[in-house]
Amino acid sequence: MPLPSLKKIEWVTTDCYGTLIDWEKGIAEACAAEAEKDGFSFETEPFLNRFFEVQAEIMAGSYELYAEVLRRTIIKVAGEIGWEVEPSRAQFLPDSVAYWKPFRESNAAMDRLARKFEIGIISNIDDKMLGISRRHLRTELDLVVTAQQVRSYKPDNVHFKECARRIGGKKGWLHIGCNYETDVAPLLKMKVPVIWVNRHGEKLAGRKKPSLEVKNFREAVKKLGAGG
């Protein structure tokens, strides 16, 4: 799906966690601090890799609030590495969302987007938790679609279908996201242009090309003619 002419773009939506909010750092720091209370430590990269694998498995099941997804994920992943986290204690991770900070460029870049387009967030999150994160994101939004609202998690395309319904169709809409599987792939199937914020330099490895691939959110905004 090629990138459309900038004159034809009216709506720009973004993913939140991993695109605007540095959730990898937030999750790793919260879990490391909690593990330290037990004299336990772990290597961050393999821990996060497994964390996101387990989280995706849980999300693929029956819908439940993201806070519960986080609790179930940390209980399982911790158990696999020999760190016991009781269910009564797992709330530390949903509570940590309040301290997950935006990437350095997020607020300024979102401000520039908002001066040029209608903007929104499409996220695998609960309404309450996104509200907490929005305290760190100063830009006013024209649209929010959450997992709680549609009772589904990306890569299921329910979020995106709901967005199209609210904005009156797919015409004039472009999305920005950091996760190929949850955002890029389903939108390419829907023939919606999508910019992939490939922060980790992943290889496509035979997957379909996004409309555009960039290294960070600031670069995506610049490509849309909204400054650097």
Beta bridge partners of 173: 11
Superfamily (CATH H level) for 6-22+101-223: HAD superfamily/HAD-like (3.40.50.1000)
CATH 3.40.50.1000 in the chain, residue ranges? 6-22+101-223
Q: Tell me which residue has tokens 């002419």.
A: 5
Identify the CA nearest to 56 among candidates 128, 155, 157, 127.
155
**What tokens appear for 87 in the block?**
């269910």
Q: What does each of the 228 residues of the chain score in pLDDT, given as a tens digit?
A: 789 899 999 999 999 999 999 999 999 999 999 999 999 999 999 999 999 999 999 999 999 999 999 999 999 999 999 999 999 999 999 999 999 999 999 999 999 999 999 999 999 999 999 999 999 999 999 999 999 999 999 999 999 999 999 999 999 999 999 999 999 999 999 999 999 999 999 999 999 999 999 999 999 999 999 765
The CA distance from 144 to 207, in Å, is 28
CATH code of the domain occupying 23-99: 1.10.150.750
pLDDT in tens, 99-152: 999 999 999 999 999 999 999 999 999 999 999 999 999 999 999 999 999 999
What span, in angstroms and rounded, lies between the C-alpha atoms of 129 and 78? 23
147 and 70 Cβ atoms separated by less than 8 Å = no
Model pTM score? 0.95
